[in-house]
A and B are shown apart, each in its own frame.
Chain A
Amino acid sequence: MAEYKLLGKDYSTPDMYAKVTGRSRYAEDHRAEGMVFVKLLVSPMPHARVRSLDTSAAEALPGVEGILTADDLPEGNEPNEAALTMEPRYEGEPIVAVAAVDEETAASAVELIRIDLEPLPFVLDPLDSLRPDGPNARTDGNTMRGRELGEIKWTEADMAGLAPGEIPMEAEAGAEWAYGDLEAGFAEADTIVEEHSYHQSLSHQCLESRSTMAYWDGGKVYVYPSVQSTARSVGPMARFAGVEPADVVLINEFTGGGFGSKGSGYLQAQIPILLSKKIGKPVMMRVTRRDETSFGKARPGVQARIKLGMRRDGRITALDVHTIGDGGPYGRSGDHMNLGSIGSLAYQPVAMRLRGTGVYTNTPPRGAQRAPGGEQSMTMLSPIIQKAAKQLGLDQVEVLKINAPEGQAQFGAVGRTGQRSIVSSAFVKEAIDKGAELFNWSERVQRSGQRNGSTVTGIGVALSTFSAGASGVDGLFVIKPDGRMYIQSGVGPLGTGSTFDMMRPAAEGMDMPWEKCEVAWGDTSRHLPWSCSQGGSSTAHAHTRSNWAAVLDARQKLQEIAARDLGGSASDYEVGGERVYRRGNRSQGLSFARAAQRAIELGGRYDGHELPEDINGMTTASATALAGQGLMGVAKDNFEEGGRRMSFVAGFAEVEVDVETGTIRLVDYAAGCDAGTIIHPRNFGAQVFGGAIQGFSIALSQKWVYDRRWGLLVARKFYSNRPPGILDVPHEQPMRWVAADLPDPFNPLGAKGIGEAAQGAASGAVVNAIADALGQEDGDFFRTPVTRDMILTQLEQAPLGHDRLTPHV
């Protein structure tokens, strides 16, 4: 394995001091001359039509600067949401925005608005909408049929013989794919498990909400949002503002979490942007926790019927899945279909069929959340696999290994080319083995079912996988005559550290001490390059590639300069120790500082006056602005691709379940990872553990609760929604991780991302550990979160008050 000076080493990221001292400025910390504040009138009903709206009294209130309604917005784009609407399709959907000199005045003005709403039928449970004559969440349909809004209703014949809360396996589905011979797979199986399963919807619960400030100056719009991606948010902001991307300045140096909900901007930023344009003053919109829960996106819940066949040796011979995705009222979520692709990768079933329908409901709009569909896949499939393995008396770890993908494994549907997708690499068995060793699986598993007083021990393992890299973006840096290296990062500062971590490969490649590197980030006026989305665990792979491409460019330029000044050909020179020098003779060469000066003198491509043609326009603009300042490394990543980059995590959990109180205590968690070369171990661990903590709350606590009669969310506070906190993490011994640390062959440094895959391994392992503790009769829940009431009622065989698939209880 390659020896690196920077990669694989811990260091403190440049934003850390500001964060721990409270000097970091988040969206709502910004101020501008004459700034006013926005408050929102939101829908109090799950689905309604505004019959009349009178804002005159609000506008007459002293201090009110202006209002924005749906009339002020550009034409909508169904089935997507608009920033303001006259037909709200979920409780909390914004209808009117009011700007005033302060928030108190704005809120008082909102109360003066006279609004008359006509209630419309609403849907909370996708299954209600699919039933014959069931209501639709939208007046124009309940699902997308291809590219059109349409309707799917199951027939009376489909429903015949089914109990409430059951899914007909063969009823019409919105989409379907299959490979292999499913029938033969089930025939070959030695055991078949068939279950209904429910996965809850989840708010992202980022600690920072999507507050946004905006103003217009000199034809440009200045936006201060809370987004994940920097470069990738410019385009959407430009669309919201109705300007060209070049006329957007985006300032966002710190973001308090995104988890997919703030990927590349968000529609609500349009409110301050357009209000500011309308009234000619800077507008700040501070978004409350309540509003963030309403319109800050959420993970789609999934209801499924799953049938799995397993051979005596543990091999999964057939997997048949029918999923219903809870899509909220807008857009088109693919989580319920992604669930199948990810399952097919993790377990490589010999034959598989996936049928799925995304159904609109009058609940918050859905979007990507950490491993969208992938986490649901692992959380829902893991206990089914465990059940089958237990029926056959097999070791759970061995079952995961026998089904594990290897190398450039295939997955998902057969594509248009007649081929299935492949991955760039998979070292899954290595990751499982290392994790099992770290967790001491073979000994720990002996404790399964041991009772101590009223508590029972359970041991669980689960595998997860998800996307781990993009490609084709640009790298950009300048070595200046001061001898320092200025690396431009268009990656977003959402808290993962990759804004900086993924710039380290540029320093590594140039053999520059990190202390002599400066990273420009978080402000597009600082000339940032086109970057990948800061989401989907894309950056580790994408920006090791892009920065390595820029490194190769800069090295070539340095060698050429040296040859020009010192004689010989470029290939006679090499780069290291902040110098370019003749091979074998370090003293004959130029320092980087001197070479940078020479690059400016030479101009052309050396200092950025001539640029590669294949880089993105944003990079061209930024590089042009930086031209003439030193030796520029600038290039597009054109490295070879070997398939979809996917990372893998095997999660191992021990729980203690108290059968008298239903309390589940998480005793220990460890993870074994395959995520290529590790760039920054401390941040890698933070992703593994952070993902695990979110996984714990999926397994154990976080959920919405909706009143069924009124269609309103009643568990909307932090404490009632129950996202995870640090006190819910195992604390007797720290969580641990280990990695296969084997490089991905299709990345110059072998890197892949880790954040996405980290979650489902933990939720799956915990759910499995609970079932392991209680045994099949009492411990099979096939529903998350597994809460105290579920355990107690199941143990006492008492009624729970709802079906297994009922959402939001």
Chain B
Amino acid sequence: MAVIRDVIPQLELFQPTSADDALALLAAHGSDAWVYAGGLDTLDWFKDRVKRPRVVVDLGGVESLREIRSTGGGVELGAMARLTDVINHPDVRSQFPALAYAARSAASPQIRNQGTIGGNVSQDTRCWYYRDGWTCYRAGGNICYASPPTAMNREHCILGASRCVAVNPSDTAPVLVALEAEMVVRRGASERVVAAEDYFVGPEIDIERMTVLEPEDLLTAIRVPSTWAGARVYFEKVRDRDTWDFPLVNVATAIQDSGGTIQDARVVVNGVAPTPVRLTAVEDALRGQARNEQLAERAGNIAIQGVSPLTHNGFKVNLLKNLVKRSIRDEPMSV
């Protein structure tokens, strides 16, 4: 079959108006169905004719999934809440400004008006080989095109590679992991709650998906508990340009301190591995310490232990080190 990377192929489109109806459709069509949220990840795949699901379930009409609710010091974000609405929500801004800041650093204003928080955390990797339809491991093949010495891998993994060297591109995911958010996943009538940290799946577990979501599953909400509300949470993203770019590396560091001593910390980075990575060794080194330049320096050095860069992405090692250092040393930026 000759290849053409143009025109969305035929598909059957369903546009439910309730989560129950959406779930029923997903149950009825199983692995034939594709969940369509804001469409920013989806349409690319369809138009290139690389992913060709038989059935598409468009959640755009399910208004109940767009709600953002306060939950006693925390917030519950409907999975279909648009990034712009997350950024502008007063409780998000006051309690979790780093989440608003991270959401605003994603993509472009136009994309944020359409893209959803659920889509942002669940989006597929941007590995240019995989997305262009190369039949790699992640696409069901038996090779990684991004890792050979002749390959172009400036934007790929320095950590956690397992056959696949693609990275998770989400900007909100590391913040949600740092904030100990929970992902509410429904299947039919049953509901399960997954820690954000456990929501993401690396290639060593399943090389063909990015999250725990399986056919028939629907991410309906993201709960951010009050645990880290008002804490010092630092987010920073480094990208190549300011007009719509995925992170080369980003970092989210949440710190609770008392009397100048760090009581607890969660340090999460993305853009360096197939999933957002919690740097527990860095967290251990922070607890009980005074937050200062030396500690920041040490944290940066610990962050890069065990990295394994590819031909073109050695710079990510320094970037990771420096971003972790800054996340402890510098004052958080906000929207």
**Is B245 within 8 A of A107, CB to CB?**
no
**Is A660 within 8 A of B2, CB to CB?**
no
Residues in A neighbouring B313, C-beta threshold 8 A: 789, 801
Would A788 and B238 be within 8 Å (CB), given that A706-B152, A707-B150 are in contact? yes
Within 8 A of A (CB), among B305-335: 311-315, 317-319, 322-323, 325-326
Q: What number of residue pairs across chains A and B have CB atoms under 8 A from each other?
A: 145
Cβ of A726 within 8 Å of any chain B Cβ, yes or no, is yes
Cβ of B69 within 8 Å of any chain A Cβ, yes or no, is no
**Is B152 within 8 A of A809, CB to CB?**
yes
Cβ of B34 within 8 Å of any chain A Cβ, yes or no, is no
**Is B245 within 8 A of A798, CB to CB?**
no
Interface-located stretch among B6-14, B16-24, B58-66, B173-181: B6-14
Cβ of A408 within 8 Å of any chain B Cβ, yes or no, is no
A-B contact pairs, 11 of them (CB 8 A): A44-B3, A107-B4, A110-B2, A111-B4, A291-B6, A663-B238, A707-B151, A719-B245, A719-B246, A722-B241, A801-B312
Cβ of A792 within 8 Å of any chain B Cβ, yes or no, is yes
**From residue A60, how far is it (CB to closest CB) to chain B in Å?**
15
CA distance A809 to B151 in the complex (A): 9
Would A108 and B151 be within 8 Å (CB), given that A663-B238, A714-B132 are in contact? no
Interface-located stretch among A112-120, A241-249, A415-423: A112-120
**Is A103 within 8 A of B7, CB to CB?**
yes
CA distance A112 to B245 in the complex (A): 36
**Is B243 within 8 A of A725, CB to CB?**
yes
Cβ of B214 within 8 Å of any chain A Cβ, yes or no, is no
**From residue B318, how far is it (CB to closest CB) to chain A in Å?**
5
Residues in B neighbouring A108, C-beta threshold 8 A: 9
Within 8 A of B (CB), among A717-746: 717-720, 722, 724-728
Residues in A neighbouring B228, C-beta threshold 8 A: none
**Is A727 within 8 A of B2, CB to CB?**
no
**From residue B133, how far is it (CB to closest CB) to chain A in Å?**
10
Cβ of A661 within 8 Å of any chain B Cβ, yes or no, is yes
Residues in A neighbouring B152, C-beta threshold 8 A: 705-708, 714-715, 809
Return the chain B residue nearest A791 by Cβ.
Answer: B315
Residues in B neighbouring A661, C-beta threshold 8 A: 236, 238, 319, 322-323, 326
Within 8 A of B (CB), among A736-767: none
Residues in B neighbouring A715, C-beta threshold 8 A: 128, 152
Cβ of A697 within 8 Å of any chain B Cβ, yes or no, is yes
Listed residue (B9, B154, B315) with the most chain A CB atoms within 10 angstroms of its CB: B315
CA distance A617 to B92 in the complex (A): 69
| Residue positions of B touching A, CB distance < 8 A | 1-10, 44, 48-49, 108, 126, 128-129, 132, 145, 148, 150-152, 154, 236, 238, 240-246, 248, 311-315, 317-319, 322-323, 325-326
**Is A107 within 8 A of B315, CB to CB?**
no
**From residue B281, how far is it (CB to closest CB) to chain A in Å?**
21
**From residue A119, how far is it (CB to closest CB) to chain B in Å?**
15
What mask results when residues 786 to 804 of chain A are scored 1 for a CB within 8 Å of chain B, else 0? Answer: 0111001101101111100
Interface pairs A-B: 3 shortest CB-CB: A725-B243, A107-B7, A789-B315
B interface secondary structure, majority:
loop
**Is B312 within 8 A of A709, CB to CB?**
no
CA distance A697 to B241 in the complex (A): 9
**Is A802 within 8 A of B312, CB to CB?**
yes
**Is A707 within 8 A of B245, CB to CB?**
no
Question: Given A660-B326, A714-B152, A809-B312, list of 10 further CB < 8 A pairs?
Answer: A115-B2, A288-B6, A662-B319, A707-B129, A722-B240, A722-B241, A728-B243, A788-B238, A793-B318, A809-B152
**From residue A765, how far is it (CB to closest CB) to chain B in Å?**
18
Residues in A neighbouring B240, C-beta threshold 8 A: 700-701, 722, 787-788
**Is A112 within 8 A of B1, CB to CB?**
yes
CA distance A802 to B311 in the complex (A): 9
**From residue B303, how far is it (CB to closest CB) to chain A in Å?**
13
Residues in B neighbouring A662, C-beta threshold 8 A: 238, 315, 319
**Is B241 within 8 A of A809, CB to CB?**
no
**From residue B314, how far is it (CB to closest CB) to chain A in Å?**
5
Cβ of A543 within 8 Å of any chain B Cβ, yes or no, is no
Return the chain B residue nearest A710 by Cβ.
Answer: B145
Return the chain A residue nearest B127 by Cβ.
Answer: A714
**Is A788 within 8 A of B248, CB to CB?**
yes
Return the chain A residue nearest B330 by Cβ.
Answer: A453
**From residue B230, how far is it (CB to closest CB) to chain A in Å?**
26
**Is A798 within 8 A of B129, CB to CB?**
no
Residues in A neighbouring B108, C-beta threshold 8 A: 725, 727
CA distance A103 to B244 in the complex (A): 29
Which of A697, A720, A724, A792 is the one whose CB lies under 8 Å from B319? A792
CA distance A112 to B312 in the complex (A): 38
What mask results when residues 217 to 256 of chain A are scored 1 for a CB within 8 Å of chain B, else 0? Answer: 0000000000000000000000000000000000000000
Which of A660, A663, A725, A793 is the one whose CB lies under 8 Å from B314? A793
Residues in B neighbouring A663, C-beta threshold 8 A: 238
Return the chain A residue nearest B155 by Cβ.
Answer: A720
Would A290 and B6 be within 8 Å (CB), given that A661-B322, A715-B128, A792-B318 are in contact? yes
**Is A798 within 8 A of B10, CB to CB?**
no
What mask results when residues 98 to 132 of chain A are scored 1 for a CB within 8 Å of chain B, else 0? Answer: 00000110111011111100000000000000000
Residues in A neighbouring B314, C-beta threshold 8 A: 789, 793, 798-801
CA distance A432 to B271 in the complex (A): 44
**Is B3 within 8 A of A111, CB to CB?**
yes
CA distance A660 to B319 in the complex (A): 7
Residues in A neighbouring B326, C-beta threshold 8 A: 454, 660-661
Residues in A neighbouring B7, C-beta threshold 8 A: 39, 103-104, 106-107
**Is A709 within 8 A of B151, CB to CB?**
yes
CA distance A722 to B248 in the complex (A): 13
Residues in A neighbouring B151, C-beta threshold 8 A: 707-709
Cβ of A611 within 8 Å of any chain B Cβ, yes or no, is no
Would A41 and B2 be within 8 Å (CB), given that A662-B319, A709-B150, A719-B245 are in contact? yes
CA distance A290 to B4 in the complex (A): 11
**From residue B156, how far is it (CB to closest CB) to chain A in Å?**
11
CA distance A599 to B102 in the complex (A): 70
Listed residue (B108, B128, B148, B246) with the most chain A CB atoms within 10 angstroms of its CB: B128
CA distance A660 to B315 in the complex (A): 11
Within 8 A of B (CB), among A672-730: 697, 700-701, 705-710, 714-720, 722, 724-728
**From residue B253, how far is it (CB to closest CB) to chain A in Å?**
15
Which of A111, A722, A727, A728 is the one whose CB lies under 8 Å from B1? A111
**Is A728 within 8 A of B4, CB to CB?**
no
Return the chain B residue nearest A808 by Cβ.
Answer: B152
**From residue A50, how far is it (CB to closest CB) to chain B in Å?**
11
Which of B154, B244, B246, B318 is the one whose CB lies under 8 Å from A798? B318
Return the chain B residue nearest A92 by Cβ.
Answer: B5
**From residue B166, how far is it (CB to closest CB) to chain A in Å?**
13
Return the chain A residue nearest B131 by Cβ.
Answer: A717
**From residue B329, how far is it (CB to closest CB) to chain A in Å?**
10
